[in-house]
Every structure is written in structure tokens, then in C-alpha cells.
Structure 1
Amino acid sequence: MKIHIIGGSGTGKSYISDMLSNEFNILHFDLDNIFWDNNSDYYGVKMPIDKRTKLLENILEEEDWIIEGVYYSWLKESFRDADYIFILNVSSFVYKYRIILRFLKRKVGIEKGKKETIKSLIELIKWTDSYKKNTLPKIIDFLEPYKNKVIEVKRAKDIFQYIRS
């Protein structure tokens, strides 16, 4: 089974990908770990395109996979190979709540993650608002060639009803 999950911050991509990975014993890949160079000494350094491309190619060679992230324009092969493409289009109230909750959990040490500030929190919420309003419609257009396997859901857990049927 090959599953691609796309959506903005706080939509539940990582959460549902972990659940699917555990239930179906499928490897889960977060595109942030391919797009950003997490070994860099500096925050916000992008992975070199050739290295990113090779990492994606290696994932696509797997028999089963779950790929999740906000990205789309460089992922044609992933969309082509996927059995399912899920678009998470949750309400702005839900993703804002989740983004703030994640921020608070990281601040008090309950959850590991990148160091964030109030400023970066506000920027992330603004970015996610813009993603939902401006980028998501572009993604839907971009996915037109794969429309027979694109499923838009309002709640991440709804993905299970499609996979189990």
C-alpha cells in the first residue's frame, strides 16, 4: 500500500501517518526530513535538490510507504505511484488549536521538536492560513491528473474508512 498525505500544519498528517504506519506495518516518511537539511548548523537550510531527489527515489522504491507533508510541486513521482492521495482540509479552528497546543507541549518539554518562539508560532499560523486559502486550491489543480485516487477529508481519522474498505 502506498499512501500520500498532504495538508497544512496542524491538520493531523503526522498523527494519522503514525497510526497508519503502526496498524498496517508500513514505513512512514515525513517530507520535512527530506526537504530541510536537519544536519545543518542553521535552522531553515534546504536539502540540496539532488540529495532530496535521491532520498525521495529511495522511498519510492519501497514496496509500501506513507509519505506526508505540505509539499507538492516536486512530488509528481510520489503522486503517480501512490494508491491513495489524501488531502487533509481541516477547519482553521482545528489546525490553529493543534499548532498552539503543539507549541505549548514543546515549551514545557512534553513533546520534542524545533525551538519555537511566540513570533515563529504567529508566523506558522499565518503561513497555514495562507496555505489553506492560496496553496490548497493550487494543489487540488496540480493533482487533477491523479483525481481517481485523490480523496479530500475534513478529519484525519476519516482516512481509515477509505483504507479499510
Structure 2
Amino acid sequence: MSAPRRILVYGVYGAGKSTLAARLAEHLAVPWYPVDDLLWQPGWVEVPVAQQRSRIEEICRRDRWIIDGAYHGWRDVPLARADLVVGLDYPRWRSFWQLLRRTVRRLVTREVICNGNRESLGSVLSHDSILIWHIAAFGRVRRRMRAWRDDPSVPPVLLFDSPAALDDWLASLPRPDSV
């Protein structure tokens, strides 16, 4: 099995996409481009979708990349170029628990997330809360990943329903120096 060179990591908010992308980047020596850094400006100002698409197209033209998400205005771009889609298809309770834990940690530590942004209690309690986004998006994201898996026009899709299954797969991946 040869190591993939262009990987889309996909899943609902809080599933662990960025954590997995960082692990894959280190394991495979493939550059990781965190999507949040490309989509959000300081002050949580969203980059216009046309500019998001342009940024993603530029990355996806490269021979090697990992990105940790794919959104409506440009989802087709990485799907057209990826060697592999890795889907985090964890049960709702697991991904929500991970998201809640991460959100509380970020609130307490005031961790900088992307481009100087931080989560705030106001944002977590607002109608635009990432916790609400998770609840609203979970079923849609799950259906999309499963549809991709069954669609021969999409790159190969691996769905993982537990961190243990994901860890087993990661351990089986060849390192670039052993390929």
C-alpha cells in the first residue's frame, strides 16, 4: 500500500479533524493546511467564499497536501484532487463530548485558535454557537460521508467509527522513508 499524498479529512465539528490532520502530516511528512486559518480573519470575520475557494484551489493544485475540512462553497475542489478521504464517523455522543471538552478547555485557557481568534462565553452561548452547529450539522455530515463512500466518482473514502479503529489504521500506514 502506498502512502496517500493528497488527503481530505472530514467530519462534524469536534470530531478531531485538525488533530488527525496534524498526526497524518507528521506521520506521512505531507504538509497540512488548517482550513480554519484559511477561512477566518481576526475578529472572527469570515473570508469571502470566492476567496476561500481560490485559496483551496491553490493548495489542491499542489502534489502533496492535507486539509481538515471541506465546506459548501468549495467542497468539490479537494474531492476532485484527493487521493483519499478520511471520514471521522464517530457516534454523536462521542463527537459532541469531544467538542464540549475542547470548547471548555479553550474558554478556560483562552487558547488562540486561528489568526488570533479565541472562543468566548458569548459565542458559545449564542445562536451561532459551535455546539449548536454540531447538533444541526451532525446528520448531514454523516450522510454526506457515507454517500461519498458509496460513490465511485469520489476518491476512496475510509470511515472510522472509533478512535481505536483510526489508531489501528494510522499504525498500518507506511512512513515515507519506508515506501
The TM tier, using the shorter chain, reads: 0.7 to 0.9
Normalising to structure 1: TM-score of the pair?
A: 0.80
Q: Which moved more, 1:49-58 or 1:9-18?
A: 49-58
Q: 2: CA distance between counterparts of 1:76 and 1:122?
A: 25
Aligned twin of 2:100: 100
Aligned twin of 1:80: 80
Aligned twin of 2:16: 12
How far 1:61 moved relative to its partner?
2.5
Q: Is the 8 A contact 2:13 2:99 kept in 1?
A: yes
Q: Which moved more, 1:153-162 or 1:93-102?
A: 153-162
Normalising to structure 2: TM-score of the pair?
A: 0.74
Q: Which moved more, 1:134-143 or 1:88-97?
A: 134-143
Indicate yes or no: 2:138 matched with 1:128.
no
Aligned twin of 2:156: 149
Q: 2: CA distance between counterparts of 1:160 and 1:61?
A: 25
Q: Give the counterpart letter for 1:155 in structure 2.
A: S
How far 1:4 moved relative to its partner?
0.4
Aligned twin of 1:54: 54
Gaps of 5+ in 1: none
Closer, same or farther: CA 111–47 of 1 in aligned 2, 3 Å: closer
Equivalent residue in structure 1 for 2:27, among 1, 8, 23:
23
Question: RMSD value over aligned CA atoms?
Answer: 2.8
Closer, same or farther: CA 93–8 of 1 in aligned 2, 3 Å: same
Aligned residue pair count: 161
Gaps of 5+ in 2: none
Q: Give the counterpart letter for 2:160 in structure 1.
A: V
Q: Give the counterpart letter for 1:62 in structure 2.
A: R
Q: Which moved more, 1:118-127 or 1:81-90?
A: 118-127
% of aligned pairs identical?
19
Aligned twin of 1:160: 170
